[in-house]
Structure 1
Amino acid sequence: MSSVQPNEKVLRTAGRERRRAFVEAATRLFLEKGFHAVSIDAIVKAAGGSKASLYSYFGNKEALFGAVVEERARHFLETVTTGTAAAKSPEIALREMGRRFISLATRPDALALYRVVIAEAPRLPELAKMFFDSGPARTQRALADYLRHQHEAGVMHIPDPAASAEHLLGLLMGLFHLRAVLNLDTGDAETHVDGAVTAFLAACGRPAAASGGSRGIRN
């Protein structure tokens, strides 16, 4: 039986909802106007509540932006790495992962956040590092873990999973993502992903013709 009293549970739930409201309001404003142009007062006005409660949750605007980045990075990683069945061949698994990755990375909201981080990086390098650690670096680690299992199972030749994961992500992003950031025509995403995975497999070794299955990509 829980020792938490009903009114304590209500307060905790209300606190989580209030924190969520601040993060959601900050996300909308940061993506629309950029980090520097958004004030704490504007976030409080959009979310409701008070400046005192916002500061009690986050301390300052930089920490609030960090919460925005962390939340979006968590969702990104979960979406990219979920649904890669263990029985699928690496070729199929990597193509599916690549398509989810590119689809999410080139969404308008993802591109807006990327542009905000790039714009603020010279002035706020700690926020740029937080973005990198929460998003790209975590995605690389998850992909490297998957590739490591394929190497250990003898399905692929991946002696350096971390480097290979970085290479694959580079192939997937490349000029395709830069065109999206610059609001230029990117061409067909599936064709791009298929080409990137084909090039990667040619360099790292294709899956064995017969294998006992493979482990899925995990976050």
Structure 2
Amino acid sequence: MNTKPTKRSAERKEKFIQAGLEIFLEKGYENTSLTDIIKKSGGSLASVYKFFENKEGLFRAIVERGFDDFRTQIDEKIDLSLSHKLEDFLIKFAAIFFDIICDKETTLISRVMMSEGAKNDGMLGKAFLEQILSKFDKVLIDFFEREDIKKQLNPDISPYVAAKAFAAVVREPYHYNAILLNEDIALNEKEREEHVKTSINIFLHGIKKR
């Protein structure tokens, strides 16, 4: 039996995702209904349930697409099957991660998560953390757990904590300012490179003068 989605089916799914993204960003998660999305995209409620099961599933699909873009770039620019020097890997990872996490669409979705994630006992927030952010972390965690890399790291700091700390130092303060202050992240190529280098220096060496 052929279960591969048809071109028409894929196009219909993409229309739901695009319409959902626009309305979620305009109204927020709580105030968006599947009826709103169907009106904008066409199609039927049955089709939404078929593709995504429910509104949460649609929102997750929208966010997961951002991770898929990230993973595609990682696979294209970093061969994870090869060994890498610690700093070289972090430079490549940080450059890709910063561009994805600070993309205008990503910051808008993050703003929705900050305002809506804790509602309904944190249902949406938990899904976001478990299904999306954990995937970003896993790329770093797997790298930090390689034997040749692990012996270079402080054994008192777990790979999980190290991954979280590195991601935080790379994305801030720009990502946070974009979410809370609605500031566009308008760094040029040289400024992005300097930010990446500074982030890695802070992560590896701290800020204390040596």
Shorter-chain TM band = 0.7 to 0.9
The yes-or-no answer on 1:130 pairing with 2:127 is: yes
Q: Which moved more, 1:79-88 or 1:43-52?
A: 79-88
The yes-or-no answer on 1:67 pairing with 2:64 is: no
Tell me, which stretches of 5 or more residues in structure 2 are unaligned? none
Task: Look up the match of 1:193.
Answer: 196
In the alignment of these two chains, the number of paired residues is 195
Task: For 1:25, give the aligned amino acid.
Answer: A
Percent of aligned positions that are identical: 28
Closer/same/farther in 2, CA of residues 153 and 109 from structure 1, 3 Å limit: same
Taking the TM superposition and a 5 Å limit, the aligned residue runs for 1:123-202 are 123-124=119-120, 125-149=122-146, 152-153=147-148, 156-159=152-155, 160-181=158-179, 182-184=181-183, 188-202=191-205
TM-aligned CA deviation for residue 81 of structure 1: 5.7
Closer/same/farther in 2, CA of residues 33 and 148 from structure 1, 3 Å limit: same
Task: For 1:72, give the aligned amino acid.
Answer: G
Q: Within 2, Cα distance between the matches of 1:60 and 1:179?
A: 32
Closer/same/farther in 2, CA of residues 76 and 140 from structure 1, 3 Å limit: same
Q: Within 1, Cα distance between the matches of 2:53 and 2:183?
A: 38
Q: Within 2, Cα distance between the matches of 1:136 and 1:64?
A: 17
Task: Look up the match of 1:100.
Answer: 96
Taking the TM superposition and a 5 Å limit, the aligned residue runs for 1:7-26 are 12-26=6-20
2:98–2:171 CA contact under 8 A, matched in 1: yes
TM-aligned CA deviation for residue 118 of structure 1: 0.8
Task: For 2:173, give the aligned amino acid.
Answer: L
Tell me, which stretches of 5 or more residues in structure 1 are unaligned? 204-219
Q: Deviations over 1:92-140 (max 9, x none)?
A: 2211211211111111100000001111123241111111122222111
Q: Within 2, Cα distance between the matches of 1:62 and 1:167?
A: 28
Please, what TM-score do these two structures have when normalized by structure 1?
A: 0.76
1:81–1:97 CA contact under 8 A, matched in 2: no
Task: For 2:16, give the aligned amino acid.
Answer: F
Q: Within 2, Cα distance between the matches of 1:32 and 1:79?
A: 29
Task: Look up the match of 1:43.
Answer: 37
Partner of 2:173, secondary structure, is: helix
Task: For 2:53, give the aligned amino acid.
Answer: G
Task: For 1:193, give the aligned amino acid.
Answer: V
TM-aligned CA deviation for residue 88 of structure 1: 4.7
- Which has the larger Rg? 1
2:102–2:171 CA contact under 8 A, matched in 1: no
Closer/same/farther in 2, CA of residues 76 and 28 from structure 1, 3 Å limit: farther
Cα root mean square deviation, aligned:
2.6
Q: Which moved more, 1:167-176 or 1:153-162?
A: 153-162
Closer/same/farther in 2, CA of residues 45 and 81 from structure 1, 3 Å limit: same
